[in-house]
Structure 1
Amino acid sequence: MISIIILTVIISAANSRNLIDNNLDVIQDIEVIEGEQSHSVDIPCDLIIEQGRGVLIWKQGRRILFAGSMRVRQDSRMSLIAGGQTSINPAGSVLRIGNLNPVDSGEYSCQIELPSGELLVSRKSLVVLQPPTAKISPGGGAITVKTGTSIVLTCSGSGVPVPEITWTKDGKVLGTGKGQADLPLQEVQWQAGGLYQCHANNGVGDQEHIKNFTVNVLHAPVLEVLPAEVEMNPGAPQECRVQIQCLVYSAPASRIQWFHNNRLMTTAEPGVTMWSAEYLHVLQLEDCVSRSGEYTCVAENSLGVNQGTTSLPQHRLVVQEVVVRVDRQIQANSSNYHISSITSLLLALIMLNLI
């Protein structure tokens, strides 16, 4: 009795497979249709159907969407339209899906059973194109490290199709990848600090997606003292102005001090002004009396100290005054179209001082 039951099951299963194979007479290669997220897409049915020869059924995977004109799946984004002016197919031969979502991706099929018992099927694969997004690891949008530390920034992109990833800093490309790109920063120095950007682009949407990441590098002060600038007042040679600039790069911020011939300067002194703007620190002197010598800018933070020096020679101040006197002498003698011997002597002195 048991053997008879098993044989009956095997025969029934074989008959079922044969029935399925006979019904699926036409199985076409699956065509891929692309639609952009939040937009609409039309999925045509390639079957040529004559009126009254059967009920056209639309499916998403195994789920029935429409049976003829009757809506089975209650999704208002989906509708049936005619196949177009050049099609002989009846209304309902095109499935339209509006406001596409990623979950709409998958296989869609239209099928109809003919009076002969043949089951005709047309399949399409829908790919919902998704604009790119980017995510940077470590998170938080910023990281603070000490000089000499090695770190790796990873940018992962998502979207359909998989986006191209590009790392940039100050407009310069640092690395690329497909779907993901690592940016190793080995033993960073203070110059490595700043804004890094991850660009994800897959051609979907109006523009690429950009993610920002800031690297803060803690370091001792790095500075540069520029040559002193001297301005003379042609109307009053005894009046002049000296300005010295000190460029300081440090993190954390540094405390700035100015020294003149190793003597600490303060704004309490007459004619002395000090001001700062980000990394620029300026010392201004409103007169040239006893201003020659060495000027030192000292920057100090919790990680170290650094200094720079510039010199203001006495001859430079003298030359400025001589130039003013020569200008006056030339103006006084211009009406006679010659330069006095005194003027010539002063010009010679100027040349010697400049040399």
Structure 2
Amino acid sequence: MSYFQCNAYIITKGMLSFFWIFYICAIETYATTSSDFRSYPTTIKTYENDTVLLPCYVEDQGAQTRIRWWREGHLLADSLEPVWPPERILIYKNGSLQVLNVQREDSGEYVCQVIRPSPWGHVTQVHEIEVMYPPSVKTIPESGELEVNLGEEVHMQCKAKGVPTPVISWKMEGKEMALRDERSNLTFLADNRNCSGRYTCVATNEVSDPAVAHIDLRIRYKPEIYVKKPWVHAFPGIRVQLDCTAIAWPEAKVDWYFKNETLTYTSRIVRHDSGNDHSLVIRNVKISDYGSYVCRGSNSLGITEKMIELSEIANPAIFKKESRSTSKTSYNFIWEVDSYSPIIEYQFWFRKYKRDANGKWHRLYIPGDNNAASPVHVHSFNLTGLDTATHYEAVVLSRTRYGWSHPSAILRFHTEGASIDSSENSQTDDDDEQNRITGIQLASMSQHYPLATDVNGSMYHRVKTLSLMLSMLCTLIITLDSRF
């Protein structure tokens, strides 16, 4: 059909519809005030394949009555003229119209037109059939799969059909989404990779069980790399494992680097990959294995890497939960260090802590446990002379013959009577805090508190030097005295 023919058909059909609507409106205006009907306009709600009977009863006034049934401008049946009613349509002698085996397309208005001679005139009555059927849904995109980049806007839609009109709700990974109103369109910003998942559209109209359809959303983002231990302590001859986790979509390609060069795998150095988890196993560690290892993940959106340091230096100390206040002015600390080498000494740093103004750091040297047989070194230290009802923070380092370890995470603590605030009484181990403390042993900290140590402690050497100087001074005084 040409464009012109198509438009002509539409115009013609529109004109017929206009005249039909005008006609119905005209006669219905009269019918509205008519009391001749013994039946009442009704809306019949029914189900598919049922049979519906539409009444059209008028007062018997002895005049010949002609009844016609119309639907959407089309004549369905005529009580006087032999018309061929559509299939499944039957008109009775009393004017009622029967619709057999109703289908969804039978929904709509049915007009009963009663035609009588003067002076009664014409009257009409309108009935409606509403065929109820269960909801059905389909999604946009129809594939049920959607991918967007992190930070982009997500658009998904659920189109539902059913009578009564279905109510739409959404679920994300099986949990109800709290939306302000019922909606078929869902739009939001994919500002978090955790937005990925299965979104379920639920259409409900109480005719039967709800209809559901799914859209699987994937957020594309560059790799995120996590390491269990950024610093791993190892001793020559043992087996060690470096672990990292790479999360990304599309899936990340993971490579290991050593001292900025691609790592060469051997029977002694092997890698293991299981989903997002990646491990590097080094059997029989050698001195040449010490250094920086990089776990690098890459995909089409970018590259991310994290470093793991393998070293003979002891692991950072970890404060134990058993650390507690022992009096109003003292606190007992317990920490644990993994080290295959004996701990020669510890540096213990502490200061008063406030959110806006922290005090000066104080440093103590504490003797180690040279004779420990286990690679796990547990040490207890009771700090006295603290102020009552005061918040503090502390950090500890350990030294072996290979050097000083990295600082522990900061432990925030308080003496008895201090107000308890979760932000002022906890162990902090985030990157910012760790970076702030990394140079602690190089900073100029307030004052140095002497503490007795063993023969390997630094205080021993200072005391020994001081004793030697005093001895020399005494010798000099005795010599001068003998001359005079």
User: TM-score of the superposition, structure 2-length normalised?
Assistant: 0.46
Check if 1:175 corresponds to 2:179.
yes
Question: Does the 8 A contact of 1:243 with 1:285 survive in 2?
Answer: yes
State the match for 1:74 in structure 2.
86
The aligned runs of 1:319-330 (5 Å cut-off) are none
Q: Distance in 2 between matches of 1:23 and 1:144?
A: 63
- Cα displacement (A) at 1:223: 2.0
SS of equivalent to 1:74: coil
Check if 1:59 corresponds to 2:57.
no
Check if 1:35 corresponds to 2:43.
no
State the match for 1:45 in structure 2.
55
Question: Does the 8 A contact of 2:198 with 2:214 survive in 1?
Answer: no
State the match for 2:192 in structure 1.
189
The aligned runs of 1:198-277 (5 Å cut-off) are 198-214=201-217, 216-227=218-229, 243-259=241-257, 264-270=262-268, 272-277=270-275
Aligned CA distance change for structure 1 residues 96 and 347 (closer, same or farther; 3 Å): farther
1:267-302: CA deviation from partner (whole Å, max 9, x where unpaired):
43435132242xx13325374544777654211223
State the match for 1:297 in structure 2.
295
1:301-332: CA deviation from partner (whole Å, max 9, x where unpaired):
2332222345667675859xxxxxxxxxxxxx
Q: Distance in 1 between matches of 2:35 and 2:172?
A: 58
Aligned CA distance change for structure 1 residues 207 and 186 (closer, same or farther; 3 Å): closer
State the match for 1:4 in structure 2.
none
Aligned residue identity for 2:305:
Q
Q: Distance in 1 between matches of 2:292 and 2:59?
A: 98
- Cα displacement (A) at 1:164: 1.6
State the match for 2:19 in structure 1.
none
**Which of 281, 284, 291 does residue 285 from structure 1 map onto?**
281
Check if 1:163 corresponds to 2:163.
no
Q: Which has the larger radius of gyration?
A: 2
Aligned residue identity for 1:104:
D
Q: Distance in 1 between matches of 2:373 and 2:83?
A: 104
Question: Does the 8 A contact of 1:28 with 1:123 survive in 2?
Answer: no
- Cα displacement (A) at 1:165: 1.7
Which is strand-richer, 1 or 2?
1
Cα RMSD between the aligned structures? 4.9
State the match for 2:374 in structure 1.
350
How many percent of aligned residue pairs carry the same amino acid?
22
Aligned CA distance change for structure 1 residues 92 and 23 (closer, same or farther; 3 Å): closer
The aligned runs of 1:102-121 (5 Å cut-off) are 103-108=105-110
Choose 184-193 or 90-99, whichever is displaced more: 90-99
Aligned length: 288
Q: Distance in 2 between matches of 1:354 and 1:171?
A: 47
SS of equivalent to 2:373: helix
1:113-145: CA deviation from partner (whole Å, max 9, x where unpaired):
899979897653111224334454566544443
Aligned CA distance change for structure 1 residues 66 and 239 (closer, same or farther; 3 Å): farther
Q: Distance in 1 between matches of 2:210 and 2:371?
A: 65
Q: Distance in 1 between matches of 2:94 and 2:34?
A: 25
User: TM-score of the superposition, structure 1-length normalised?
Assistant: 0.59
SS of equivalent to 2:186: strand
Q: Distance in 2 between matches of 1:66 and 1:176?
A: 52
Q: Distance in 1 between matches of 2:267 and 2:202?
A: 53
Question: Does the 8 A contact of 1:221 with 1:250 survive in 2?
Answer: yes
Q: Distance in 1 between matches of 2:68 and 2:374?
A: 98
Aligned CA distance change for structure 1 residues 207 and 58 (closer, same or farther; 3 Å): farther
SS of equivalent to 1:191: helix
Q: Distance in 1 between matches of 2:242 and 2:43?
A: 70
Question: Does the 8 A contact of 2:159 with 2:184 survive in 1?
Answer: yes
SS of equivalent to 1:126: strand
- Could you tell me which runs of 5 or more consecutive residues in structure 2 were left unpaired when the two chains were aligned: 1-25, 315-337, 342-368, 380-484
